[in-house]
C-alpha cells in the first residue's frame, strides 16, 4: 500500500549504510540506522494508541531522535505537529487543545508543567530530550526495527503547522503528503541537490525551513546533513569544510560576515548558500559576494505553501528579490480590493497556486474561504511586484501597509532608502495612529556597530529625496530590532511600543 511521503523520502534508503546524519558527538548515523529508529518510533506511536490521522504535537529540542519521530509519524500515518520551543504554556495549551492532539511530547524538564495541559485536553503525555533520552525514547527503544508502513493518500494530512498569530488567533495550516513531496521534488531540481551533497543544518526543526525544506530535500536527494543543535558560529565555521551546501536565515550570514575567519578560502569548496524565512538585506548579499565569491540564493515561502519562488541556480541571483516561481507553481500580483491581476511593475498582493499550496486551515472553513480561492490561488497577504524581467519582489505584508491621509505607503521602499544611509545597519518602518492623517510613518533605525548615528543627517536625506507623504514623522533608534526565532522582524511589537508617539 502506498504512503507517498514515506515511499519517496524514506523507503528508498532501506538497507543503505551511507551517511545521513553527522552529529555533534562525532558519530554518524547511516540511512539504514535512521530508518530502523524511525520504525521504532512508529511502533511506539501505535502502542500508545495513535491512529492514522491523529495529531502528534511535539515541543522538544532538536535532535536525531526528534527527526526520527517525524519519520515515524509519516510511516504510521500520524499528522506531525511541531511547536516552536519558545512557546509559553498558555500558547501550548491553545495548540494542543485546538489540534485535538492524541499525543503531546515535551522536554522532560517541563513535564510537570505540561501534564495539566495534557490532562485538560485528554491526550497522552510523553517526553523526549535534546540528548535523545525520555519516556518516549525508552518506549521506542524496546520496539522492533521494522514497521509495516501505513497506507496514506496524496491528499491525506502529513503535518499541521500553526502560523505565528501576530493578528488574531493562530491558524493551523493543513499540509498534505502531496504538498510536502511536490515541494521537495521542485527544490531538488531547482537547487541541483544530489546524493553527494552534505548540507550544514543549523536551523530549528519546528519550522518549515529546517524540517520540510532542508531535511526533506536532503532525504529526497539521498545526501547527508551535518546536524547541529543550533546556530553556533564556532561550530559552523569548524564544520563548513565538510559541507557542500548550507541553508540559513539572514542572521546566520551577518554573524558569519562579522567573523574574520569566514573568508573565501573557507568557502571555496562550497556549492550553494541559501537564505530564507526573512528578507536578506541587499548590503548583506553584496558583502557576502565580495568576501567569499558566492552569491547567496534567496527564496520565498510561507507556512501554508512551503517554497513558492527561488532565485535561479544558473543565472543572476538578484539582490532584493526572491526570483521566479518554482516548477509547477504559478504566481501573480493582484489588486487587493478587486482580485484583478495587475501588470508587471505594479504593487499588489501576491497570489500563488500549485501542488504545494495547503489544504486549508484546521477547523476554520470561513478563514480558508477568505484566503484560498475556488480556482486554487492562495492569497498570501504579501505586498509584491513582478519586475520587467520576471523577478518577484516582496514589498511587505499587507497588514504592514500604511495608509496616511489617503496615501498608500509601502514600508519596504522607505526601509531600503534608510538602510542605504551612512551609519544605518538596518531599519523598520511602521505606521502609528495619528490624529490628523489616520496613521503616520515611524522609522526605527539600528546603528552600525561602533557607529554614531547622525539622525539629523538621515532626516535631511529623507526630506531631500522622499515624497512628503512618505517621510517618517518620527525617527527612533534601537540597539536591535525585535525578531522571532526565524529572524523575522516582529513589527507588531514595534507598533505596540510606538503606538502613542503622535498622541497628545
Q: What pLDDT sits at residue 374?
A: 94
76 domain-assigned: yes
- Residue 363: C-alpha distances to residues 154, 182, 206 (Å): 20, 24, 21
On whether the CB atoms of residues 76 and 150 are closer than 8 A, the answer is yes
Regions of the chain where pLDDT drops below 70: 1, 164-168, 406, 436, 504
Query: So what's the pLDDT on residue 166?
Result: 43
* Strands lying side by side in the sheet with 474-477: 424-434, 438-447, 474-477
Q: How far is CA 22 from the centre of its chain?
A: 23
**Residue 24 and residue 38 share a domain:** yes
C-beta of residue 125 within 8 angstroms of C-beta of residue 93: no
Q: Final residue of a domain: which of 379, 397, 415?
A: 397
Q: Are 425 and 378 in a shared domain?
A: no
Residue 58 sits in a domain whose CATH number is 3.40.50.12780
157 within a domain of the structure (yes/no): no
Confirm if 410 and 346 have CB atoms less than 8 A apart.
no
- Kindly state whether residue 163 falls inside one of the protein's structural domains: no
Q: What is the pLDDT of residue 168?
A: 58
- Answer whether residue 158 is part of any domain: no
Q: Enumerate residues 6+ apart whose C-beta is below 8 A from 165.
A: 171
In a domain, 164, yes or no: no
Spatial separation of the C-alpha atoms in residues 56 and 78, rounded to whole Å: 7
- Its domain, for residue 265, covers 190-397
DSSP line for 112-159: HHHHHHHHHHT-EEEE--TTS-SHHHHHHHTS-S---PPP--TTSEEE
Domain final residue, candidates 397, 425, 442: 397
The C-alpha torsion from 448 through 302 and 497 to 412, rounded to 10°, is 50
- Number of domains, the chain: 3
Query: Residue 1 has what pLDDT?
Result: 63
Tell me, yes or no, whether 420 and 387 share the same domain: no
Kindly state whether residue 180 falls inside one of the protein's structural domains: no
76 & 222 share domain:
no
What's the burial of 423, exposed, middle or buried (CB within 10 Å: 0-12/13-18/19+)?
Answer: middle
Cβ burial 29-40 (10 Å sphere, 16+ → b, else e): bbbbbbbbbbbb
Asked if residue 169 is part of any domain, the answer here is: no
DSSP element (H, E) containing 360: strand 360-361
pLDDT of amino acid 167: 45
Task: Extract the C-alpha cell encoding 272.
Answer: 550553494
The CATH number linked to 420 is: 3.30.300.30
pTM of the predicted protein model: 0.85
Q: Angle 111-121/89-99 helices, nearest 10 degrees? A: 30
Domain's final residue, options 397, 412, 438: 397
**pLDDT, tens digit (0-9, with 9 covering 90-100), for 160-199:** 999 865 445 789 999 999 999 999 999 999 999 999 999 9
Does 339 share its domain with 292?
A: yes
8 A C-beta contact, residue 348 and residue 403:
no
Amino acid at each position: 500500500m502506498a504512503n507517498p511521503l514515506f515511499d519517496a523520502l524514506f523507503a528508498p534508503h532501506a538497507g543503505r549504510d551511507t551517511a545521513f546524519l553527522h552529529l555533534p558527538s562525532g558519530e554518524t548515523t547511516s540511512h539504514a540506522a535512521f530508518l530502523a529508529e524511525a520504525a521504532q518510533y512508529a511502533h511506539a506511536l501505535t502502542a500508545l494508541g495513535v491512529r492514522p490521522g491523529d495529531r502528534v504535537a511535539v515541543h522538544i529540542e532538536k535532535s536525531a531522535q526528534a527527526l526520527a519521530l517525524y519519520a515515524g509519524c509519516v510511516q504510521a500515518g500520524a499528522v506531525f505537529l511541531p511547536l516552536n520551543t519558545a512557546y509559553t504554556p498558555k500558547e501550548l495549551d491553545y495548540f494542543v487543545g485546538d489540534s485535538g492532539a492524541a499525543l503531546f511530547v515535551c522536554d522532560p524538564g517541563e513535564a510537570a508543567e505540561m501534564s495539566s495541559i495534557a490532562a485538560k485536553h485528554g491526550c497522552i503525555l510523553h517526553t523526549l530530550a535534546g540528548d535523545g533520552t525520555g519516556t518516549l525514547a525508552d518506549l521506542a527503544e524496546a520496539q522492533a526495527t521494522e514497521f509495516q508502513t501505513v497506507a496514506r493518500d496524496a491528499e491525506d494530512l502529513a503535518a499541521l503547522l500553526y502560523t505565528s498569530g501576530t493578528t488574531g488567533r493562530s491558524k493551523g495550516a493543513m499540509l498534505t503528503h502531496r504538498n510536502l513531496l511536490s515541494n521537495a521534488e521542485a527544490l531538488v531540481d531547482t537547487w541541483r541537490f544530489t546524493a553527494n551533497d552534505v548540507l550544514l543544518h543549523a536551523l530549528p526543526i519546528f519550522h518549515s525551513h529546517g524540517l520540510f525544506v532542508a531535511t526533506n530535500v536532503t532525504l529526497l536527494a539521498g545526501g547527508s546533513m551535518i546536524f547541529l543543535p543550533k546556530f553556533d558560529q564556532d561550530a559552523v565555521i569548524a564544520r563548513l569544510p565538510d559541507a557542500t551546501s548550507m541553508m540559513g536565515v539572514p542572521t546566520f550570514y551577518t554573524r558569519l560576515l562579522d567573523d574574520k575567519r569566514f573568508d573565501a578560502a573557507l568557502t571555496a569548496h562550497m556549492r550553494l548558500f541559501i537564505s530564507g524565512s526573512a528578507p536578506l538585506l541587499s548590503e548583506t548579499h553584496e558583502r557576502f559576494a565580495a568576501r567569499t565569491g558566492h552569491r547567496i540564493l534567496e527564496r520565498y515561502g510561507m507556512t501554508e505553501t512551503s517554497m513558492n519562488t527561488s532565485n535561479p541556480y544558473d543565472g543572476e541571483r538578484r539582490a532584493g528579490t526572491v526570483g521566479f516561481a518554482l516548477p509547477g507553481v504559478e504566481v501573480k500580483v493582484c489588486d487587493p480590493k478587486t482580485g484583478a491581476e495587475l501588470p508587471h511593475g505594479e504593487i499588489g498582493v501576491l497570489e500563488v497556486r500549485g501542488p504545494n499550496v495547503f489544504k486549508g486551515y484546521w477547523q476554520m472553513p470561513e478563514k480558508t474561504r477568505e484566503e484560498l480561492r475556488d480556482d486554487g490561488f492562495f492569497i498570501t497577504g504579501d505586498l509584491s511586484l513582478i519586475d520587467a524581467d520576471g523577478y518577484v519582489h516582496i514589498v511587505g505584508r499587507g497588514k504592514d501597509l500604511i495608509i496616511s491621509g489617503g496615501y498608500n505607503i509601502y514600508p519596504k521602499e522607505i526601509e531600503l532608502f534608510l538602510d542605504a544611509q551612512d551609519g544605518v545597519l538596518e531599519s523598520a518602518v511602521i505606521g502609528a495612529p495619528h490624529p490628523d492623517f489616520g496613521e503616520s510613518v515611524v522609522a526605527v533605525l539600528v546603528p552600525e556597530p561602533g557607529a554614531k548615528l547622525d539622525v539629523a543627517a538621515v532626516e535631511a536625506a529623507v526630506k531631500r529625496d522622499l515624497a512628503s507623504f512618505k517621510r517618517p514623522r518620527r525617527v527612533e533608534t534601537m540597539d536591535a530590532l525585535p525578531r522571532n526565532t526565524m529572524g523575522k522582524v516582529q513589527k507588531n511589537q514595534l507598533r505596540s511600543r510606538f503606538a502613542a508617539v503622535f498622541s497628545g
